[in-house]
């Protein structure tokens, strides 16, 4: 099966409660999975200072979603983002036009495992260095 690969970055209001941030993400995930899409990565970048004020907010809560889907899926995600007053800005970018779904999911799982092992090794080295300095 073939699909397109997209990345979505959105900025939510910094004063939203954790439940409201989760609702935006859950709604986005729901749109993707209900239309037979696949979520590859979700990364919460946290609150960051904006380059300029948006709707009188100097900070925003950044989220990154990498997924496989279709153009109508993107249309629906963007429609809901426009309606939601908790979302300050969003941008969806098509990364690949024709991706083999099973191969891409397997490649992402492998990349996640490598990333996890790199983080574990870095933590082990850091604790070893701290033990040496003690």
For 75, the token pair is 């249309």
How confident is residue 101, by pLDDT bands cut at 50, 70 and 90?
confident
Q: What is the percent of the chain with per-residue pLDDT over 90, rounded to a whole number?
A: 72
Q: At residue 60, what are phi and psi to the nearest 5 degrees?
A: -150, 160
Which region among 38-47, 70-79, 109-118 has the lowest average model confidence (pLDDT)? Answer: 109-118
How confident is residue 99, by pLDDT bands cut at 50, 70 and 90?
confident
The secondary structure of the chain in percent helix, strand, coil, rounded to multiples of 5, reads 45, 40, 10
How confident is residue 122, by pLDDT bands cut at 50, 70 and 90?
low
For 77, the token pair is 């995600």
98-105 LR contacts (CB < 8 Å, sep 24+) = 98/2, 98/4, 99/2, 99/3, 99/4, 99/5, 99/68, 100/1, 100/2, 101/1, 101/2, 101/3, 101/38, 101/68, 102/1, 104/3, 104/5, 104/38, 104/40, 104/68, 105/38, 105/40, 105/68
CA distance 100 to 109: 14
Return the CATH superfamily for domain 2-101: Ribosomal protein S6/Translation elongation factor EF1B (3.30.70.60)
**Domain boundaries of the chain, sorted by first residue:** 2-101
How confident is residue 130, by pLDDT bands cut at 50, 70 and 90?
low
């Amino acid at each position: 099966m073939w699909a397109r690969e997209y990345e979505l970055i959105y900025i939510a209001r910094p004063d939203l409660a954790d439940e409201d941030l989760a609702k935006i993400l859950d709604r986005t995930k729901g749109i993707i999975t209900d239309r037979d899409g696949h979520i590859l990565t979700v990364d919460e970048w946290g609150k960051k200072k904006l380059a300029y004020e948006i709707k009188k907010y100097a900070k925003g809560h950044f989220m990154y979603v990498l997924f496989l889907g279709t153009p109508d899926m993107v249309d629906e995600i963007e429609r809901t983002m426009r309606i939601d007053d908790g979302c300050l800005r969003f941008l969806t970018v098509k990364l690949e036009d024709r991706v083999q779904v099973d191969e891409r999911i397997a490649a992402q799982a492998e990349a996640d495992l490598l990333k996890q092992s790199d983080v574990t090794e870095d933590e082990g080295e850091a604790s070893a260095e701290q033990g040496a300095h003690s």
